[in-house]
Structure 1
Amino acid sequence: MEIKKKVVSGLAATLSAAMLLATAACGGGSDSAADDGSFMTVDVFSSTANYQGVQKGWFAKIVKDKFNMELNIIAPNVAGGGDTLFDTRSTAGNLGDLVIVGMGNGRLQKLVKSKLITDMTPYYDKMTNVKNYQAGVDYVTKQAGQDGVWGVPGNVSDESPTKSSEGVEPAAAPYIRWDYYAKVGYPKISNLDDFANVLKQMQDKAREETGQDDIYAVSLFKDWDGELMQNAQAASQWYGWYAQNSVLVPSDDDAAQVTPASQVGSGYDQMIEFLNKCNDMGLVDPESTTQNWDNLSTKVTEGKVLMSIWSWLGKPRMNSTENQEKGIGFMLAPLENMKVYTPGFQPEGDGNSFIAIGSKAKNKERLAKFIDWLYSPEGIYASAFNSGGAACPKDMCWTLNDKGEPELNEFGEKAMFDSAGLQVPAEYGGGSYNDGVSALNFKAVNANGTDPETKAAYNPQLWATQLAKTTKLQEDWAKHMDGAKTDLEYLEKTDRLAVAPGATYTPPEEDSQISTLRSSVKTEVINASWQAVMAGSQDECQKIFKDMGTQINDLGYAQVLEVDKKNADDLIKARQEIVKQFADKEDK
């Protein structure tokens, strides 16, 4: 790639030491000052973090021992106010010593032009781990619109973009309480109509056994609604659709199939009608329109919900080792006509976030070493969030067995799958395991990729030593699912997986007029979608959805759609380009 040649080969390899110092000084920080190695507190502005304050526990000990520094997390998600904190700190000229933010909507370009982040070119020669993900660095440079090493994206990978990046299970797929599915005789589920009927049988059985009439097959919530009703949007992934703004993009890169979600008959409409059918059958929790994510999570944990739209809702809250040994828990349903969407590995990162050095930071070379460490095998194990939701440092959580294979120890088993109340040994920092997990909430490298040192995945759930372990629940599920050991294995075996090439695409900054129209349109779409789901009949549901299309057209949706279709086409082109780039790289 031309940018790579210009930035890395041209600058990093040939600039003299004096020129490097001059380049660094332009960033506004004390680049030329020698790092005396003394302890330092690093302010980290992280738009991905859900904790604010000084990093605690075992991850803090690793950072202190390796870099003699502590991380003070500044988190807009916790402080509130949306972009207010970002704008306030940007105006003051100092966003943070380390910066983790999204690069979309022109934000990256603004950070570069405002000199709020540092060009890391002077340190890049020594960032040997980051260089393994050069495509990601090049992507950030391209988005910045200015030569330099301005940051490194999250969730990068050196794996094929046509290979599913999700490890053992897709994020969105039909998951059900397998124990109740077994109790009603493992009925065939050919399509969504069958699925609703099976859920009714399961709900009846659960209520009969427990005597509790507040158990519902389906429970929804509004917290995450954006341009669409999020729950219905996510369920459309069961049939291979990816929602980008107001349109659905197919996984097979057929631009002709890009469809407005609001169009009658779209994948989104089909899921609205499915949820309405469930409501007509008394399967939808009547509190769905008023409850939030926390309420729903509690109900799932208490056994009040029998279907999960995502793997990470039902499984973590019900599939404890104790429950699995009893045959209790959520597992993938054998919905025969599903074609589940899954993203491929992304050599350029996910486009959602990147990490950079603030222009006013001190000891920038040390910070560059810290960033580089995050992309090393050791850093990945210590800070990456795996499918199971946990980080797993070597020695503390796992070791190599006699065959040279990575294997979880007793502590690692609990950390991965049952970490509530788990205490860390004093030698690793003590305290609660969960409290010690990296508060950056930044996944540098996709943990389902391969560790070059062990030749196994970083994610313990994909280790041969872990896959060899089974529970009563897993064994019963496998018996009825072609002997598969994981959800993705089953979907691949049965040709029910739709892999969308792992391209990174950041939509351009949007015109304010379009943003205003979009706001009005999405309000109408969300309100009508909920009304359609909760409508008293399928005829009423379909009428509400159809009328919604007329309403948004009157609001100027055609202009919004033109922008969204152009962005969808560009995403498809990016997918095609990354597949070609990776193939060319493999041929060399």
Structure 2
Amino acid sequence: MKKNFTSIAGMLLVGTMAISMTGCGSTKTESTTESAKPSTAATSSATASTALEPVKIQALIGPSSLSGIQSDELSKEIFEKKFGLKMDYIFAGDKFDERLSAIMASGDMPDLIEFKDKKQFESAVKAGVLMSLDDLVAQHGPNITNNLPSMLQYMRDNYSNGTGKLFGLASQIGAGQPTNLLHMALYSRWDLYKKIGSPELKTYDDLLQALKKMQAEYPATATGQKVYPLQLWSDWDSISMSLVDFTVPGYMGVNANAGTLQFTEYDPASKQIKSVFDADSKYFQGVDFYYKAKKMGLLDPDSISQKWPNAETKTKEGRTLTALWGWQSQIFNGNDFVKNNPQAGLVPLFPKDEAKFLVQAELPVGGGYVFGIGKNSKNADRIIKLLNYASTAQGSTELMNGVEGKAFMIKNGKAEYAPEYLDKVMKNDPSTAGYESFTMLSKWNIDPRTNEPITHEGWSQFVKQNLTAAEQEWTKANNVSNVYEYAKKNLKVVQDDGVTALAGAPTDDIKVIQQKLGELLKTASWKMVYAGSDNEYNTLKQDLMDKASKLGADKNFTWAKAEYTAAAQKASKYKQYSVR
């Protein structure tokens, strides 16, 4: 499974917007949401394979914590009974890259692989370890063919090693999250915000000043543990200080280090791309924000050394006053302190003059994840039938949320969990996690049967059930029904156009440059945050820019600009997909 945050506080507030979303158009050249045409293989191929004796296949899903054969209801009812597949998962955890490299070097590929990015997939195509899927899709994948034509053409045009053949199926196709939950707002304590007078927040400096006052009101937990308004963790870092990429630039309406265009940031509103090494980049503004927080005593000093599990524990224990995303705020809102003090729940805070609301792009050709089948697999036909089912609204809905008729049912045109199953979902019971990794369609696509998102996170039943007291009061205080409505009234809403997702892989010489730049940027960014003075901070920043220039940052940016231009041209070519 990919990371599957079952209860997402941000979604709870945007659910109304998600529910009101309609189809994405009706022309044959654009994305469409249709209910008139039945999904032929959603029923026929599944029924045909029901009588098959299950066969064991090996699957490497990236990234995933799954290991061995699973015995949950979806595995039994969908994978085994419908498609005759007993999945034997190869454990990878956070070492997926290393595990994949070792397997590719051996040449003995598993039956099914889900690559976590197209660069990995392209390497496998060039290595000749994957099976051509053209005939299999033609014979067993009518829904793939009819619903996802642009994805198929895109993969043939760009990831076939020049052969024009189909070697992989990209997933996550279609609508982006109704609000980009990874780049939305800083969430903080509603009770403390009211206690300091609910000050108007215009700038990020205003936000820091408000957090300082809130810290003064709640400096320690009931057990005497010191409370810091902000905390970070370093184990998510890759080519940069990743929590900077994931937060402040996104709060300002840009994608930092998007796709393969590393060390750049893209503004969909202006259609401009710039280097993160520019002195006025949003990335540097993010580093500056956390440096100011450290200087004011707002940043947990453990941030540079702690890992996510430590940060998660502190969130659960109420030892921080903020969460960086909606899903993280749900972790805080579920602790005993909030249960006993409902107004202490976290709600989003926006600096109105500087924040921009970034809405995720629609992706007709899919996101980064790609399915491939090992060239020696003996059961490729069954795998394609499964992915064909996953290319329908019905299939993706079941794989995401549980077996229809058991976990949920459709009543009066809306999907609803059975009461006992809903209770498990609300408690984040692992048995309800679902198999998002196998959904070919983005979970935010609108199911034409319900006019609500495929994922339960957008179902009316779930949204209504999961609103906290603080969230309810926040919407009332701001005279809005959800976060998106708030943004439209008070902020600039920026719709990502998905262009950067179509950028090609870097050349070998650019890869070398990017590797060196990554180590530099990651290390130097943390040093800047922990600088002892403004003078030291400015010296470190200038030193970083100078070293980046010597390592080839300008060459990387020249390559990125050319790739962006090419990607923008591709975007007009690949637009068609259907949800039905």
TM-score bin (small chain): 0.7 to 0.9
The one-letter amino acid of 2:385's match is K
SS in 1 for 2:343: coil
CA deviations over 1:523-543 (Å, ceiling 9, x no partner): 222222111111123343233
* Higher CA-based Rg: 1
2:544 paired with 1:548: yes
The one-letter amino acid of 2:177's match is E
Identify the residue that residue 409 of structure 2 maps to in structure 1: 399
The one-letter amino acid of 2:254's match is W
Change in 2 beyond 3 A, CA 1:493/1:50: farther
Identify the residue that residue 152 of structure 1 maps to in structure 2: 169
Give matches, 1:151-190, under 5 Å.
151-157=168-174, 159=175, 165-167=176-178, 170-172=181-183, 173-190=185-202
2:251 paired with 1:238: yes
Identify the residue that residue 490 of structure 2 maps to in structure 1: 494
SS in 1 for 2:114: strand
SS in 2 for 1:72: strand
1-structure distance, mates of 2:460, 2:336:
19
Change in 2 beyond 3 A, CA 1:507/1:50: farther
Deviation at 1:321, TM superposition (A): 10
Change in 2 beyond 3 A, CA 1:533/1:87: closer
The one-letter amino acid of 1:473's match is A
Give matches, 1:342-491, under 5 Å.
342-350=359-367, 352-384=368-400, 391-401=401-411, 403-420=412-429, 433-434=431-432, 437-438=434-435, 441-469=437-465, 470-485=467-482, 487-491=483-487
SS in 2 for 1:50: coil
1-structure distance, mates of 2:179, 2:552:
43
CA contact 2:391–2:441 (8 Å) conserved in 1: yes
CA deviations over 1:71-98 (Å, ceiling 9, x no partner): 01124336x3x54433443344431112
Change in 2 beyond 3 A, CA 1:42/1:336: same
Identify the residue that residue 12 of structure 1 maps to in structure 2: none
Identify the residue that residue 219 of structure 1 maps to in structure 2: 231
CA contact 2:113–2:372 (8 Å) conserved in 1: yes
The one-letter amino acid of 2:133's match is D
Deviation at 1:297, TM superposition (A): 0.9
SS in 1 for 2:218: helix
2-structure distance, mates of 1:416, 1:223:
28
Deviation at 1:183, TM superposition (A): 2.8
Change in 2 beyond 3 A, CA 1:169/1:484: farther
CA deviations over 1:175-220 (Å, ceiling 9, x no partner): 2222322332322111101000011111121226747352101101
CA contact 2:220–2:226 (8 Å) conserved in 1: no
Give matches, 1:78-93, under 5 Å.
80=95, 83-93=97-107
Deviates more, 1:227-236 or 1:165-174: 165-174
Identify the residue that residue 7 of structure 2 maps to in structure 1: none
Deviation at 1:249, TM superposition (A): 0.8
2-structure distance, mates of 1:155, 1:527:
32
Change in 2 beyond 3 A, CA 1:504/1:363: farther
Gaps of 5+ in 2: 1-27, 30-48
Change in 2 beyond 3 A, CA 1:320/1:521: same
Number of paired residues? 519
Change in 2 beyond 3 A, CA 1:35/1:443: closer
2-structure distance, mates of 1:76, 1:471:
36
CA contact 1:46–1:73 (8 Å) conserved in 2: yes
Name the structure, 1 or 2, with higher relative contact order (CA <8 Å, separation 6+): 2
307, 326, 348: which is aligned to 1:292? 307
CA deviations over 1:551-581 (Å, ceiling 9, x no partner): 2222332222222333334444444555xx4
515, 523, 528: which is aligned to 2:524? 528
1-structure distance, mates of 2:570, 2:120:
18
Deviation at 1:312, TM superposition (A): 2.4
The one-letter amino acid of 2:196's match is V
241, 252, 260: which is aligned to 2:269? 252
Change in 2 beyond 3 A, CA 1:110/1:490: same
CA contact 1:320–1:417 (8 Å) conserved in 2: no
Deviates more, 1:69-78 or 1:113-122: 113-122
Identify the residue that residue 202 of structure 1 maps to in structure 2: 214
Deviation at 1:248, TM superposition (A): 0.9
Deviation at 1:505, TM superposition (A): 3.2
Deviation at 1:126, TM superposition (A): 4.1
Identify the residue that residue 294 of structure 2 maps to in structure 1: 279
CA contact 1:241–1:250 (8 Å) conserved in 2: yes
The one-letter amino acid of 2:313's match is T
Identify the residue that residue 284 of structure 2 maps to in structure 1: 269
Change in 2 beyond 3 A, CA 1:452/1:125: farther
2-structure distance, mates of 1:556, 1:234:
24
SS in 1 for 2:545: helix
CA contact 1:532–1:544 (8 Å) conserved in 2: yes
108, 111, 132: which is aligned to 2:125? 111
2-structure distance, mates of 1:69, 1:516:
41
Change in 2 beyond 3 A, CA 1:509/1:268: closer
CA contact 1:505–1:574 (8 Å) conserved in 2: no
325, 330, 333: which is aligned to 2:346? 330
2-structure distance, mates of 1:497, 1:412:
36
The one-letter amino acid of 1:568's match is Y
Identity of aligned residues (%): 19
The one-letter amino acid of 1:94's match is D
SS in 1 for 2:133: coil
CA deviations over 1:370-394 (Å, ceiling 9, x no partner): 111222333312333xxxxxx3443
Change in 2 beyond 3 A, CA 1:536/1:571: farther
SS in 1 for 2:113: strand
CA deviations over 1:325-354 (Å, ceiling 9, x no partner): 82332221132121022222211101x111
Identify the residue that residue 135 of structure 2 maps to in structure 1: 121
The one-letter amino acid of 1:364's match is A
CA contact 2:55–2:85 (8 Å) conserved in 1: yes
Change in 2 beyond 3 A, CA 1:225/1:568: farther
SS in 1 for 2:229: coil
Deviation at 1:499, TM superposition (A): 1.1
The one-letter amino acid of 1:492's match is K
The one-letter amino acid of 1:279's match is K
CA deviations over 1:108-135 (Å, ceiling 9, x no partner): 3642661522324244254233231222
Identify the residue that residue 566 of structure 1 maps to in structure 2: 562
2-structure distance, mates of 1:513, 1:149:
27
Q: CA RMSD in A?
A: 3.0
Identify the residue that residue 90 of structure 2 maps to in structure 1: 74
